[in-house]
Structure 1
């Protein structure tokens, strides 16, 4: 069984989107280099160091967990998330036309969604890609690693990545300096 990790691209002051859900300059790093990483229906042109990280995510992620809000904002990625994995959406209210997304499961509750994603992923990893879902999963103790692609921009306000309600200690980071983003990978410390 693979690990469960979170990954978000975040402004230096801790936001994953502006107040109106716009992403501003957050994803400039996806087109800031000359090394190509092929996602599912998407091509990323990143620097060499970022390419190693991004290629690992594409190769090892077997399922992605997202919240309903992100799913709605992206229109379910047209049932083809850029990492190429099936998606499990945490929601109390699946869309009436849920069959429009055959590679997407709609599950009530974070713990149940992570369990379902683990089943879907098999031996591969599970990525949690929504801030609120990530916070709940951290509180449930089901996250093995927290990943942040830290971008050199200050939003001043917006949607925060972290708003955890409990104390959580992480191990020392693996730091991957890239162009337009510094990638940080923190293993979750187990007591």
Structure 2
């Protein structure tokens, strides 16, 4: 069964970017959130150029292997310079969720303006067609909206031991509590990988 999960590198105080992220500025001054992608000696089996510690490579490649489609929010799309017309994953289809037209959407990307339910439904179909894989969510706004709609099965935090003190938070305001159950915690150099199941 196809699962929907949100996964992101996050500071201990809950930020997924540094201050002043945006087009041409990337993720602001919080790029150290992703240092663990390159600080190890184990190459990723999915992403060229990534060299992680052995425990991080195991977690990262397991997650990457699950992904058949990705839903990203407009801010993530713009901050990442539109993923160069492709996507953040080498093989997964990208669905961009936006309330208004997004600039320069390519034929390898799909713009969805009708809400999170439609974006996730389209991504689930693409993930199933990709061999029964899962859907990854990118961006705090997308994950929050999907949680509100009851569409998220797992939340995965790659928690980096830093307090950024500002930036874009991973989670936005929710109308009610969402209970999580810790499934796995993997300590690694420069990051702790935390996988939670969303309890319904």
Q: TM-score range by the shorter chain?
A: over 0.9
Aligned to 1:12: 12
Taking structure 1 as the reference length, what is the TM-score of the superposition? 0.92
Runs of 4+ aligned structure 1 residues displaced above 6 Å come to none
Check whether the contact 2:144–2:172 (CA below 8 A) recurs between aligned residues. Answer: yes
Aligned-partner Cα distance in 1 for 2:102–2:193:
34
Structure 1 residue ranges without an equivalent (≥5): none
Deviations 1:127-180 (A, max 9, x none): 001111100101110000000000011111221112232211011241011111
- 1:131-146 matches, cutoff 5 A: 131-146=140-155
Distance of aligned partners of 1:30 and 1:95 in 2 relative to their CA distance in 1, 3 Å threshold: same
Partner residue, 1:60: 66
- How many residue pairs end up in the alignment? 187
On the 8 A contact 1:39/1:82 being kept in 2, the answer is no
The runs of 5 or more residues in structure 2 that have no matched partner are 22-27
The separation in 2 between residues aligned to 1:19 and 1:96, in whole angstroms, is: 23
Instruction: Give runs of aligned pairs for residues 80-159 of structure 1, distance below 5 A.
Output: 80-84=86-90, 85-95=92-102, 97-98=104-105, 101-108=106-113, 109-122=115-128, 123-159=132-168
State how far apart, in whole Å, the 2-side matches of 1:62 and 1:48 are: 24
